[in-house]
Structure 1
Amino acid sequence: MKDEICQAVLAREEVVRFLQGGHGETAEQARERVEGYLDELNTTQRYGLYRALKHPVYPILRKIARHVEHIDRVQAAVARGRVIYASNHKSHTDYLVEPLVLDDHGIRPPIIAAGINLFGGPLGLLHRHVTGAIPIRRATKDQAYLVTLKAYVAELLREHDLLFYPEGGRSYSGELKPPKTGLIHAAMQSETRNLVILPVAIAYDLVLEDRSLSRQGVKRRQRPFAREVAEMMRYAVGYRSRAFVSFGEPIATGAYDPHSRTDVLELAHRTRDAIGRLYKVMPTALVARAMRPSISRPDLEARVDGLLEALRAGGANLAVDSGRQAVSEATRPLARRGVVVVEAGTYRVRNRALLRYYARTIEHLLPAAGRAH
């Protein structure tokens, strides 16, 4: 391994200590495993080719209108030091939309931490040698892997910004999930000067793979990414959506002790809470939350107005100003998606699982008594 980052990882104190053995294996076995994981993690971003990638994926991208909020916060943060973008995770299109929003404004996209299931076949080669993504083995307790990953992230941050998803994966229920701490802890341990976490929230009118996500409700198994891409292409027929990417105020990591479990958890939850507040409340979510099995349009608008009042009081990031506007903007996409059916001014639920999925996207912003079930 000639890569400078890999060599720096092998020289880090915690890795050297692990390579001495004593974990039920010899020093030689430990080194072999660490080097194997380093080969797996090693990535390169070729920016010129990266920018050209938008053309082969244009058939999907042109279906998603990108909107950005507070890009000035990003510009200021990258000018001051190293940035970790921490985002909620709705769709596989997040990996396309969020970096391109940055590129649209002349900001070099970060290295992306993504699930290892995205790295098979030709797509895996693109991730490793063009976009610059590192494969993450989620839910593993392999000490060799965890030591290697944390050390690799620490060294990576010396040269690159990083984008990761604290939820660990897409939300299958629609709601914002609790944060995982692994990569945040690794970043804190890097001791990178002026390192900040920049909260990012992405919201869609419609999520491309909403049917497959809502059908499962919870993730039961890791599926090959090629199969998921094929499914997404099928769902893309007739698909149109806006994507709002909202950037928050940077959170300095230096105020938190990487050796304190309490501090690590506090930073993770502070980041998650900031993402939740940034999340754009879309008209489709409002209508889904306000729906009843059968409801007239005036009653639906009134129920959305009640939701808006509660959300506005809590400082939510709203995409509409009134129940009338929300129902007007949400009716066509929800009807075309097969979520509701509208007949003679009466709205009826057609797909309960999808309706609940969209209703739960704003659950974190509502009082407990007003949450979807």
Structure 2
Amino acid sequence: MNKTEKRLQGLVEEYKGSGREYTTVENPRALKIHVKRDLSEHRNVVEKEPRRIREDPLAFLFNMGLYYQGTGWRGYKDYIGTKILYPGYSEKMRSMVLGSKKVQSIIDQLADRQTELLANQKNWNKDDKRIEKQRKAMRKELQVVAKAIVQKCVATVDSSRTLRFFAFIVNNILVRLYHQGVHIRESEWVELKRVAIMAQEKKQSLVFVPSHKSHIDYMVVSYLMFRLGIQIPHIIAGDNLDLPLIGKILKSSGAVYIRREWGNDIMYKTILEEYVATILAEGLNFECFVEGTRSRLGKLLQPKLGIVKIILDAYVDGRFEDCHIVPISLGYDKIIETSSYATELLGAPKEKESLWGILTNSSLLQLKWGRVDVRVGKPYSLKNWVDEQLQMRGPMDLSDHNQKSVLLKSLGYRVLADINAIAVVMPSALVGTVILTLRGRGVGRSELIRRVDWLKNVIEAKGGQVSEFNDMSTGEIVDKTVVIHKDLIGERKGKDIVEPTFYPIAAFELSYYRNQVIHLFVEEAIVCAALYTVVKKGGGKPLQRMQYNDLLDEISFLSSLLKLDMIYKPGGVESNTKRTMQWLADNNVIEIDKDGWVGLSDMERQCGRENYDFLCFMIWPFIESYWLAAISLFTLAPSVAGQEPIWVDSKLFANRTQSLGKTLYYQGDLSYLEAVNKETLSNAFTRYEEQHILLKRRHTTPKTWSEVAVSPAYTPERQNGILIPRGHLWELVERIGKFRREGKNRRDNATVSTRVLRMADILGEDNAKERADAKKIVASDNKAKI
């Protein structure tokens, strides 16, 4: 029996002693392990780790000594995967990348191109000896540039001692900040180990694709790989994390620093592609965040496919035989950055990266923020996935950019769907969701407990996963969550209060946790919002129903509008709608009669529409954002009919849209402050650009910037110089407005349109004035040049 078979057999022995179900076959390489779904399946990997030196100095110092000496698993000597952590490892990787044919070829091309430009400028003939001398000098300079890029990018995982120091630091941060521990499902990690052992034998990589919610994500994933004996991954990280001291430690623990934007820097792009391809060709584990950046909204973001494209291109080019995609979902009771996320989304300048602040902030580490839940999806072969796609889609020319883009986009959304499928709903998400989806100023403790129980049961019935309560009651979970989020959830109690009543202190921040649930209900929420177009009108039951085909039209419009913000289940709108409506009918939210009329069920009416309202509350803030984005286009209206479009700097336009939104919120015309968040507004503008409602043009001088204008077909109309609610743009505003939550002026559209358009016109005057000033400056500059 070779080493691989012994390791696989060891996994069987591990389960023999656990009392759980397992199956074996004669060939342990084909081992499949089946585990009962019970509490013993979950484990807190830091349960026995001492937290603070003052609590138990001897235990803390003893633990420190174990890390320093590398005792047991802390030694990290027999990890699964291709060997790293030896002197000269990073130098070897740098040499392989810098000396590769691809990198040297691009250096030659750039040297030839720049030499040719210089020769043309100086009128050298092609036989001039200075040309070759210049080419050699240019090539030497480019080699220095390439070496600097490689030096910056390549991770320096040469020292096991440095890695143990990193693990010790991360361990102490996690056990102090998340006092209830880091929880895993053992069966998932046993399966991951099995795949890792097989991958190691074939010299294949594991490609980890976690959700991205916090800076802590980097540390949690690497710490768990260290703790459970799997080769730590090389992690794609923004170069903004390359901070003094901590940047060097992270780089020694696998961080691969890259620029946020590459632009037209072909040298940088080539080196990064070659480095990633080399990592995968060497069978080294790799990690990247498909979302590209941390989600400031709580839900998964649309995929950013830059790194995924590099992986797929390397596979198609035959740089590696196969790799294994490993989706990971990270769930936190409380996210460290939610406060800064909220201020950023409301327009404040982005705060400087806070990872160093986290590591050094002693007051922050005194807090007790619950637990972390990590779930690992079933790893799958990239080769098998590509083969399945080609079989399903028919022959594809993967050398064709457009055809490969289809495959690339499909892979990005497959990864996001996998992450959503294994995502754990934390108690914070349950409590936050309930508080934000009930009408009124607050909710009593008993009602909150009842609705949390209901939500938990519904999520599990839909196949979602809820964090383990262990032996705690729902009431205890609610109380603990309120304590953890005392800055977001207020409690009113006292002699003059019949029962404790909870209310949102900071609804905007709390919405981060509600959005962690939205992927489970997005189709149902859209159906309910579409039905709301008649429900909001009031009247008897016959007046609050729609024909199925009419409802489907509204659903199709809303689904298409929100497609950049929502991740839908596979399938078309019609098939998804049928499945969704059946679920709503089975759960007595709606009823569908034999003539095709759809309306609220009698049971839902009797319970005060609580489940229907819950689903509407999930989607309304996003609808509000798209309505606000459409309203803001009125600020781009020319002051006189027939004038050319007014072009406005994109950033300035976005800032003014947020100002308009905040004004409308404080005056009661917007129901949700979170509708003003710049991330959803940005998606809305992108969607309108795709629909040719908004025009955008980009400039590269003096630096990269862009400006926007409203399309001529959607240019707002004026009467006597005043904006009027008429035309294609107003039709769009009214169409979206049908789905909005009823506000203070819901019965008086004329009043709303007059007031809103007046404010839009005020901002429009500023846009027109600044455009005129910009033209004067350009004209003056041109005159001076003449």
TM-score normalized with structure 1 length: 0.88
1:186 correspondence with 2:299: no
| 2:232–2:254 CA contact under 8 A, matched in 1 | no
**1:1-373 superposed matches below 5 A:** 3-21=91-109, 25=114, 28=139, 30-45=142-157, 46-63=159-176, 64=178, 65-69=181-185, 70-81=188-199, 82-128=205-251, 130-141=252-263, 142-157=265-280, 158-190=282-314, 191-217=319-345, 221=350, 223-225=352-354, 228-229=357-358, 233-254=362-383, 255-256=385-386, 260-291=404-435, 292=438, 293-319=441-467, 325-326=473-474, 328-337=476-485, 338-342=487-491, 343=493, 344-368=499-523, 369=525, 370=615, 371=618, 373=621
CA–CA separation in structure 1 for the residues paired with 2:336 and 2:377: 25
Measured on the aligned residues, the alpha-carbon RMSD in Å equals 2.9
Shift of 1:25: 4.3
> Residues 333 and 298 of structure 1: is their aligned pair in 2 closer, same or farther, counting only changes over 3 Å?
closer
CA deviations 1:165-201 (Å, max 9, x no partner) are: 1111211122211121122222223332231110011
Larger RCO, structures 1/2 (Cα 8 Å, 6+ apart): 1
Give the whole-Å Cα distance in 2 for the aligned partners of 1:230 and 1:4. 31
Contact (CA 8 Å) 1:111, 1:161: kept in 2 or not? Answer: yes
1:148/1:325 Cα in 2 relative to 1: closer, same or farther (>3 Å)?
farther
Distance in 1, matches of 2:214 and 2:430, equals 19
Quote the Cα distance in structure 2 between the aligned partners of 1:360 and 1:276: 12
1:43 and 1:132 in contact (8 A); partners too: yes
Q: What is the rounded CA distance, in whole Å, between the counterparts of 1:183 and 1:80 in structure 2?
A: 25
Equivalent position SS for 2:508: helix
- Kept after mapping to 2: 8 A contact 1:68/1:101: no
The more displaced of 188-197 and 5-14 is 5-14
Is contact 1:174–1:214 with CA below 8 Å preserved after alignment?
A: no
The answer on whether the counterparts of 2:170 and 2:223 sit within 8 Å (CA) in structure 1 is: no
Q: In the superposition, relative to structure 1, how do residues 96 and 251 fare at CA in structure 2: closer, same or farther (>3 Å)? A: same
What's the offset of the Cα at 1:227?
A: 6.1
Deviations 1:270-323 (A, max 9, x none): 11110111111111101101114401123223333443344224311112589x
The answer to whether the Cα contact below 8 Å between 1:284 and 1:326 also exists between their aligned partners in 2 is no
- Give the secondary structure class of the aligned counterpart of 1:236: helix
1:133–1:149 Cα change, 3 Å: same
The answer to whether the Cα contact below 8 Å between 1:172 and 1:218 also exists between their aligned partners in 2 is: no
Gaps of 5+ in 2: 1-87, 116-137, 200-204, 387-397, 494-498, 526-614, 622-786
Which is further off, 74-83 or 2-11?
Answer: 2-11
Deviates more, 1:163-172 or 1:78-87: 163-172
Unaligned runs of 5+ in 1: none
Distance verdict in 2 for CA 1:235–1:356, change over 3 Å:
farther
User: How has the CA–CA distance of structure 1 residues 166 and 67 changed in structure 2, closer, same or farther, with 3 Å as cutoff?
Assistant: same
- How many residues in Structure 1 have an aligned counterpart in Structure 2? 371
Partner Cα separation in structure 2 for residue 202 and residue 224 of structure 1 = 20
CA distance in 2, matches of 1:68, 1:55: 19
1:164 maps to a residue whose letter is C
2:275 counterpart SS class: helix
- Aligned to 2:209, the other structure's residue is in SS state strand
**Greater share of helix:** 2
Report SS of the residue matched to 1:199: strand
Contact 1:310 1:366 in 2 (8 A): no
How far apart, CA to CA, are the structure 2 residues paired with 1:9 and 1:112? 17
Contact 2:234–2:285, Cα closer than 8 Å, also in 1? yes
Task: Assess, with a 3 A threshold, how the Cα gap between structure 1 residues 218 and 248 changes in structure 2: closer, same or farther.
Answer: farther
Taking the aligned partners of 2:521 and 2:407, their CA distance within structure 1 comes to: 27
For 2:474 and 2:259, the matched residues in 1 are separated by 40
Return 134-143 or 345-354, whichever deviates more. 134-143
Q: Does the 8 A contact of 1:67 with 1:245 survive in 2?
A: yes
Tell me how far apart the structure 2 counterparts of residues 37 and 245 of structure 1 sit (CA, whole Å): 34
CA distance, structure 2, for counterparts of residue 321 and residue 52 of structure 1: 33
**Cα deviation, residue 268, structure 1:** 1.4
- Partners in 1 of 2:512 and 2:360 — Cα distance? 18
Do 1:88 and 1:275's aligned partners in 2 also have CA atoms closer than 8 Å? yes
Bigger shift: residues 38-47 or 303-312: 303-312
What's the offset of the Cα at 1:228?
Answer: 4.3
In structure 2, the CA distance between the partners of 1:221 and 1:208, relative to structure 1 (3 Å rule), is: closer
Which moved further from structure 2: 38-47 or 2-11?
A: 2-11
Cα distance in structure 2, aligned partners of 1:138 and 1:218:
22
Distance across 2 between alignment mates of 1:104 and 1:367: 37
Return closer, same or farther for 1:273/1:228 CA change in 2, 3 Å cut-off.
farther
Q: Do 1:166 and 1:180's aligned partners in 2 also have CA atoms closer than 8 Å?
A: yes
Cα 1:228–1:49, aligned 2, differ >3 Å: closer, same or farther?
closer
Q: Please identify, of 139-148 and 70-79, the stretch whose mean Cα deviation from structure 2 is larger.
A: 139-148
Determine helix, strand or coil for the equivalent of 1:180.
coil
User: Alpha-carbon deviation of 1:105?
Assistant: 1.7
- When residues 217 and 7 of structure 1 are mapped into structure 2, their CA distance, relative to the original with a 3 A threshold, is same
Deviation at 1:13, TM superposition (A): 4.7
CA deviation after TM superposition for structure 1 residue 86, in Å: 0.5
Separation (CA, whole Å) in 1 of partners of 2:195 and 2:328: 13
Give TM-score scaled by structure 2 length.
0.44
Alpha carbons of structure 1 residues 266 and 222: separation in structure 2 relative to 1, 3 Å: farther
Which of the pair has more CA radius of gyration? 2
Among all aligned residue pairs of Structure 1 and Structure 2, give the percentage whose two residues are the same amino acid.
Answer: 22
Please give the secondary structure, in 2, of the residue aligned with 1:171. coil
After superposition, the Cα gap between the structure-2 partners of 1:321 and 1:367, relative to the gap in structure 1 and judged at 3 Å, is: farther
Question: Cα deviation per residue 1:42-83 (whole Å; 9 max; x = unaligned)?
Answer: 222123321232333444221221111210221022112210
Please give the secondary structure, in 2, of the residue aligned with 1:44.
coil
Separation in 2, partners of 1:261, 1:232: 44
Task: Give the structure with the larger strand fraction.
Answer: 1
1:217 shift after superposition: 3.0
CA distance 1:261–1:242, change in 2 (3 Å): same
- Cα shift at 1:226: 6.0
Are 1:281 and 1:318, in contact at CA under 8 Å, matched by a contact in 2? yes
Q: Answer yes or no: is the 8 Å Cα contact 1:21–1:30 preserved in 2.
A: no
* In structure 2, C-alpha distance between the alignment counterparts of 1:222 and 1:9, rounded to whole Å: 34
- Please state whether the residue corresponding to 1:56 is helix, strand or coil: helix
